[in-house]
């Protein structure tokens, strides 16, 4: 490659010691750093990154099965994208109701997120010096919290309330990083108020385990943090609920870089850039059960990840990267000045200036190339999560979640099973291409669990159909619930 920089006679600066012509000198000064940049960063997306990108496209098209299959081998690789790919796999598998895969993937991510020193052994230093992408991605606090939240949802769906509780508790731990990084309880409180889903689900776990006191404490905390969720955080409503809809809506935050030099500028879009979160309706059969004009306003947004992402806790590496970027720019500017001087001088002075210009521009370009932002993002995250507890007659129901403010945005499930006791939890990922209608049980689940077959669903006196989510029969699994009712 260096031959490109030789003059036509084959002479070069180092071999001959002869001064280069000014124009060649400047050309050399400009092309050398470009070559450095190509060497350092000139790889573009790797094969695995391209595969992950295809999987994300599949996810957006609601082809969750294919997304899961593409991501599965990537998530097995214990490289710097291990946590990210497992989070992606967990999201895809959860949306496709492949709960075993989703649990395992989120658990893998959870274990590394909860570890310390993951980036030791040279990775941290390499990330600071060369490229931040070398560090093992563990996400920002809100991303860590969401890994724990989804893990909790999966356990909750499977009636494993002990582990669900632990996961929701952990999700709240992860947000402490925000509060402590800036000085103030108020700051932490603000972040907490954007994560009331953690408190509500924690309260629901306690309620299902018969710990009314802790349930009430957490419901109260949720309402204290966000006044407009009184109906959602009503202990009685949650106690009586036999269906819980967990509805993910919108696109979560993405890391945004400066288009000129790739420097990190934060998360986008900002909430005001995309407007407020629309309120959904829940339609059972043909009747609006929850939502605007139904008299039931339980479906309120519990979180705004776009807002939460604006609380990004700047890590040390961001500072290092910013310094490298500024110093790199300064060195290139100084090199440009030296090149200019070289073009206006002669003899040994020209040689000295040209050498200095090359060195400065090369060093500056290297620094800037290594200060490129790490833009890895968990693209499947929603903007918000709606939690909608419902009390419905046992049997099978067609349920639609729609958004009257956004034309065409809805999803329908046919034959969702409503148990006569306990609570069935259904996860709904609202996207442009996921209107359905989908039949219950979904393919990924029906391969693993027997489909409901008993009796005539919903018929008076008929036994309620068996839900694949039902806990195994037997007294040990039907934990008595408070209020003197043995299960519900």
Partner 1 sequence: MFVAGCPKNTALSHGKTTALDSVDLVEMTDDMTMKILGDPLVQAEIRTRGTLKVVIQPVENKMIGEILPRGAKEAFVARLRALLAEQARDRFTWVMNRDNWYAIRDRELDRGPDPDRVQPEFALTARFSSITDESSKRRASYYLCVYSLTDLNAGTLLWTGKYEVKKSAVKGFLD
Residue 273 sits in the site that holds partner 1 (CB under 8 A) = no
- Chosen residue from 5, 173, 337, 340 binding partner 1 by CB under 8 A: 173
Q: How far is the CB of 116 from partner 1 (least distance, A)?
A: 4
Residues that bind partner 1 (rule: CB under 8 A) add up to a total of 54
Angle at Cα 346 formed by Cα 342 and Cα 348, nearest 5°? Answer: 90
- Chosen residue from 29, 52, 127, 233 binding partner 1 by CB under 8 A: 127
Residue 126 sits in the site that holds partner 1 (CB under 8 A) = yes
DSSP per-residue string spanning 225-273: H-GGGTTTT-HHHHHH-SEEEEEEES---EEEE-TTT--EEEEES-HHH
Q: Per CB under 8 A, which region of 173-181, 189-197, 280-288, 428-436 contacts partner 1?
A: 173-181
Beta strand pairing status for 264-268 and 254-257? antiparallel
Cis peptide before 244 (omega within 30 of 0): no
DSSP per-residue string spanning 140-185: -HHHHHHHHHHHHHHHHHTT-HHHHHHHHHHHHHHTHHHHHHTT-H
Residues across the chain: 488
Closer of 114 and 343 to partner 1 (Cβ)? 114
Residue 421 Cα distances to 155, 164, 210, 467, angstroms: 18, 19, 15, 11
Q: How far is the CB of 310 from partner 1 (least distance, A)?
A: 18
Q: Residue 452: enclosing H or E segment and its boundaries?
A: none
Backbone angles phi, psi at 246, to 5 degrees: -110, 110
Beta strand pairing status for 243-249 and 410-418? unpaired
Closest CA to 309 of 357, 273, 284: 273
Residue 167 sits in the site that holds partner 1 (CB under 8 A) = yes
- Chosen residue from 9, 15, 120, 183 binding partner 1 by CB under 8 A: 120
Question: Which 3 state secondary structure label does DSSP give 473?
Answer: coil
Site string for partner 1, 455-484 (x = CB under 8 A): -----------------xxx-xx-------
Q: How far is the CB of 279 from partner 1 (least distance, A)?
A: 32
- Chosen residue from 42, 54, 111, 432 binding partner 1 by CB under 8 A: 111
311-370: which residues touch partner 1 (CB under 8 A)? 313, 315-317
Residue 114 sits in the site that holds partner 1 (CB under 8 A) = yes
Q: How far is the CB of 79 from partner 1 (least distance, A)?
A: 7
Closer of 108 and 411 to partner 1 (Cβ)? 108
Residue 213 sits in the site that holds partner 1 (CB under 8 A) = no
Q: Which long-range contacts (CB under 8 A, 24 or more apart) does 113-121 make?
A: 113/83, 113/138, 113/139, 113/144, 113/147, 113/148, 113/174, 114/170
Say how many CA atoms lie within 13 Å of 265 toward its Cβ: 10
Q: How far is the CB of 85 from partner 1 (least distance, A)?
A: 10
Q: Per CB under 8 A, which region of 47-55, 74-82, 88-96, 349-357 contacts partner 1?
A: 74-82
Residue 123 sits in the site that holds partner 1 (CB under 8 A) = yes
Residue 138 sits in the site that holds partner 1 (CB under 8 A) = yes
Residue 119 sits in the site that holds partner 1 (CB under 8 A) = yes
Q: How far is the CB of 220 from partner 1 (least distance, A)?
A: 19
Closer of 185 and 316 to partner 1 (Cβ)? 316
| CA–centroid distance for 298 within its chain | 25
Q: Per CB under 8 A, which region of 46-54, 122-130, 258-266, 426-434 contacts partner 1?
A: 122-130
Residue 78 sits in the site that holds partner 1 (CB under 8 A) = yes
Backbone angles phi, psi at 13, to 5 degrees: -60, -45
Residue 207 sits in the site that holds partner 1 (CB under 8 A) = no
- Chosen residue from 25, 105, 151, 356 binding partner 1 by CB under 8 A: 151
Closest CA to 29 of 322, 261, 260, 331: 331
Distance CA 468, CA 451 (A): 7
Residue 216 sits in the site that holds partner 1 (CB under 8 A) = no
Q: How far is the CB of 136 from partner 1 (least distance, A)?
A: 5
Is residue 390 within 8 Å of residue 289, measured between CB atoms? yes
What residues make contact with partner 1 under the rule CB under 8 A? Answer: 78-80, 82-83, 103, 107, 110-112, 114-127, 130-131, 134-136, 138, 151, 155, 160, 162-163, 166-167, 169-170, 173-174, 176-177, 180-181, 313, 315-317, 472-474, 476-477
């Amino acid at each position: 490659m260096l031959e490109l920089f030789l003059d036509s006679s084959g002479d070069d600066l180092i071999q001959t010691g002869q001064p280069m012509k000014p124009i060649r000198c400047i050309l050399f000064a400009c092309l050398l750093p470009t070559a450095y940049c190509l060497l350092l960063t000139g790889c573009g997306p790797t094969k695995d990154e391209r595969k992950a990108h295809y999987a994300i496209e599949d996810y957006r098209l609601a082809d969750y099965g294919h997304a899961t299959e593409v991501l599965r081998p990537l998530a097995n690789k214990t490289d710097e994208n291990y946590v990210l790919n497992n989070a992606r796999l967990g999201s895809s598998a959860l949306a496709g109701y492949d709960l075993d895969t989703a649990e395992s993937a989120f658990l893998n991510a959870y274990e590394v997120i909860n570890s310390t020193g993951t980036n030791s052994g040279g990775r941290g230093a390499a990330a600071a010096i060369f490229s931040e992408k070398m560090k093992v991605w563990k996400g920002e606090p809100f991303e860590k919290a969401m890994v724990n939240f989804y893990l909790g949802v999966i356990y909750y769906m499977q009636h494993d309330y002990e582990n669900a509780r632990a996961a929701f508790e952990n999700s709240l731990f992860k947000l402490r990083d925000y509060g402590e990084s800036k000085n103030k309880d108020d700051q932490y409180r603000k972040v907490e108020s954007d994560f009331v889903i953690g408190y509500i689900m924690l309260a629901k776990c306690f309620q299902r385990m018969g710990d009314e006191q802790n349930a009430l404490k957490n419901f109260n905390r949720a309402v204290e943090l966000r006044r407009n969720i009184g109906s959602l955080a009503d202990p009685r409503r949650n106690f009586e609920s036999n269906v819980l809809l967990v509805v993910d809506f919108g696109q979560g935050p993405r890391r945004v870089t400066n288009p000129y030099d790739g420097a990190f500028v934060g998360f986008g879009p900002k909430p005001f850039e995309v407007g407020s979160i629309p309120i959904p309706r829940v339609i059972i059969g043909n009747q609006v059960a929850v939502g605007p004009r139904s008299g039931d306003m339980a479906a309120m947004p519990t979180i705004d990840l776009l807002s939460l992402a604006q609380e990004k806790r700047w890590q040390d590496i961001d500072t290092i990267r910013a310094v490298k970027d500024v110093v790199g720019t300064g060195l290139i500017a100084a090199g440009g000045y030296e090149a200019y001087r070289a073009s206006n001088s002669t003899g040994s002075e020209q040689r000295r200036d040209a050498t200095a210009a090359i060195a400065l521009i090369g060093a500056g370009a290297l620094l800037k190339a290594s200060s490129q932002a790490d833009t890895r993002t968990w693209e499947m995250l929603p903007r918000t999560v709606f939690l909608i507890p419902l009390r419905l007659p046992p049997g099978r129901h067609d349920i639609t979640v729609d958004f009257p403010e956004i034309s065409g945005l809805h999803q329908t499930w046919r034959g969702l099973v409503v148990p006569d006791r306990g609570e069935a939890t259904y996860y709904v990922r609202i996207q442009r291409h996921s209107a359905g209608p989908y039949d219950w049980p979904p393919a990924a689940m029906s391969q693993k669990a027997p489909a409901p077959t008993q009796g005539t669903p919903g018929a008076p006196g008929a036994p309620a159909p068996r839900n694949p989510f039902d806990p195994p029969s037997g007294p040990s699994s039907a934990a008595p619930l408070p209020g003197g009712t043995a299960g519900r």
